[in-house]
Chains A and B, each alone.
Chain A
């Protein structure tokens, strides 16, 4: 085997294309792997204005022609996009002098490309399961959901190892697909604390004046406006918080529940207290996270909870629902407040406590930042990932494929 380990990473999103948490995950994982001497190729969907090929911090990024004709539905588009992805990746690998050692895919959205490439090149396939359909939908109700679930099952079957980013996800994935213990690996997700360290002192007063009155505290929600993220529970908690403390609720993100949520806010006559921002640029998001008085993650299903980690890195105190990966990230009353899931009263209690108790707030901010630096550092995560590659390649070298 040649000396430098090489991996081809597949993701349907990679900056500047950002839809959810996979994009920053793959960005920082690739960059950090490159820093410790792994040759990383990223294959991802194209994006207006982004080049088809570029090298970012030593990572070779290839943006493929994602399927652009109208597709019958989202799932069919995913499989059509994978057809192009596999085709272009196959040509890239074929032209290399030294072939790729490992294919690493992220979620079912790039499943078929990864499975196909595994077999045509006979190289090991790894998958990071960021989420599952059965978890996102709280069950399998339609044929589309069943199909996606079965695609995930097939992907985990074909993978040499299945990486999950929390103990919760390890047990969830094991249950959902009936996987053996020795196939599952836990590697936490990471957060980049340096982006929150602005050399010049952030002027929060001027910035927050754009969104809130001087008397209002800022309560921040960042995430898609979808059922599993529990945003409707936060909206239901709004009047309960306002009984105790004056606040402005800033909602960043978009999703299919947006109109519904707007209607609820309107019916409560609280339009002046809840601000729906839609998507915002990175700079605005960073400043919002830094200047918010409290960040809330009210998810019903959360494999990991990267937004909570980001808030902790930005030194914004967090209120999370006690579920999934969030339960592991946050220690109650130490690095954040854990509310009962699906309970607006409990959520409002936590938000109010942080907004009114200055000592509690400061303690939580300090502890949370320390935990982020100790446990969720990308360098450590990249190192753990590299060790998994090495273990897999060791096993592979004894197989008849080698």
Chain B
């Protein structure tokens, strides 16, 4: 199985705790014989680099250096994520089983790749704009929420880390409850749950 993971942070670039989680997850995936690529942001561009843990990492940089906010930064970085993903797709015989996207930053790229190349994606929720910016409803917040909404709408499945987050996703974005899977990293069955979710999507998915 060939999986692409999109995360805006990955070691050595650590912003919150997501970097460590994605690092642990991808290491485990490789151990379970999953061909794993992480596509992430870094200040300078790299090609595909196979790191010590066996994870293949592509770091993309934003071609536009001046920005007026996180949204414009994000929406001009996604094309580079698409380019890196498409390169893997075409180099590997036009086959990628699924994309696992962490939070809203790279939802646009996942949505394009799904619509263009039929690669299904999982939206893995770390946090939601409604929690990060409680009670804020400026055009800025609404734009981010609309990207989150698009992710819920276009994804094959949504992955959350707790029952509470599942309820929040259902409450805030009206996502059907059965679309949301709880995969808790503290549970003993963590890796088994991840693999089960991946296999379900790679099998059924929206692949031709």
Q: Is the CB of B142 within 8 A of A69?
A: yes
Q: Taking each of A119, A121, A157, which has the highest tally of chain B beta carbons within 10 Å of its own beta carbon?
A: A119
Residues from chain A with a CB closer than 8 A to the CB of B65 are 150
CA distance A117 to B68 in the complex (A): 25
**B174 contacts the other chain (Cβ, under 8 Å)?**
no
CA distance A178 to B115 in the complex (A): 34
Instruction: Among B63, B115, B139, point to the contact of A69 (Cβ < 8 A).
Output: B139
Q: How far is the CB of B61 from chain A (nearest CB, A)?
A: 12
CA distance A119 to B68 in the complex (A): 26
Q: Taking each of A69, A73, A147, which has the highest tally of chain B beta carbons within 10 Å of its own beta carbon?
A: A147
A70-B142, A76-B143 in contact; A150/B66 too (CB < 8 A)?
yes
Q: Is the CB of B118 within 8 A of A72?
A: no
A72-B140, A120-B86, A147-B68 in contact; A112/B115 too (CB < 8 A)?
no
Residues from chain B with a CB closer than 8 A to the CB of A154 are 63-64, 76
Q: Is the CB of A87 within 8 A of B112?
A: yes
**A82 contacts the other chain (Cβ, under 8 Å)?**
yes
Q: How far is the CB of B118 from chain A (nearest CB, A)?
A: 7
**A266 contacts the other chain (Cβ, under 8 Å)?**
no
Instruction: Among A83, A86, A88, A122, point to the contact of B90 (Cβ < 8 A).
Output: A122
Q: Is the CB of B71 within 8 A of A116?
A: no
Q: Which of B61-111 contact A (CB under 8 A)?
A: 63-69, 71-72, 75-76, 78-79, 82-83, 86-87, 90, 108-109, 111
Closest residue of chain A to B89 (Cβ to Cβ) is A120
Q: Is the CB of B139 within 8 A of A147?
A: no
Number of interface residues of B (CB under 8 A): 36
Q: Is the CB of A94 within 8 A of B117?
A: yes
**B52 contacts the other chain (Cβ, under 8 Å)?**
no
Residues from chain A with a CB closer than 8 A to the CB of B109 are 116
CA distance A72 to B109 in the complex (A): 21
**B138 contacts the other chain (Cβ, under 8 Å)?**
yes
Q: Is the CB of A83 within 8 A of B69?
A: no
1/0 per residue A81-98: CB within 8 Å of B?
A: 011001110110110000
Q: Is the CB of A116 within 8 A of B67?
A: no
**A151 contacts the other chain (Cβ, under 8 Å)?**
yes
**A144 contacts the other chain (Cβ, under 8 Å)?**
yes
Q: Which of A109-156 contact B (CB under 8 A)?
A: 112, 115-117, 119-122, 143-144, 146-147, 150-151, 154
Residues from chain A with a CB closer than 8 A to the CB of B87 are 119
Q: Is the CB of A143 within 8 A of B118?
A: no
Residues from chain B with a CB closer than 8 A to the CB of A227 are none
**B146 contacts the other chain (Cβ, under 8 Å)?**
yes
**B187 contacts the other chain (Cβ, under 8 Å)?**
no
Q: Is the CB of A150 within 8 A of B63?
A: yes
1/0 per residue A164-194: CB within 8 Å of B?
A: 0000000000000000000000000000000
**B134 contacts the other chain (Cβ, under 8 Å)?**
no
Q: How far is the CB of A94 from chain B (nearest CB, A)?
A: 6
Q: How far is the CB of A79 from chain B (nearest CB, A)?
A: 4
Q: Is the CB of A120 within 8 A of B82?
A: yes
**B113 contacts the other chain (Cβ, under 8 Å)?**
yes
Residues from chain A with a CB closer than 8 A to the CB of B142 are 69-70
**A80 contacts the other chain (Cβ, under 8 Å)?**
yes
Q: Is the CB of B139 within 8 A of A72?
A: yes
Q: Taking each of B83, B143, B146, B150, which has the highest tally of chain A beta carbons within 10 Å of its own beta carbon?
A: B143
Q: Is the CB of B140 within 8 A of A87?
A: no
Q: How far is the CB of A320 from chain B (nearest CB, A)?
A: 34
Q: How far is the CB of B120 from chain A (nearest CB, A)?
A: 13
Show 17 A/B contacts (Cβ-Cβ < 8 Å), sorted by A: A69-B146, A76-B68, A76-B69, A76-B75, A83-B108, A83-B111, A83-B147, A87-B108, A87-B115, A87-B150, A91-B115, A94-B117, A116-B112, A119-B83, A119-B87, A120-B112, A154-B64
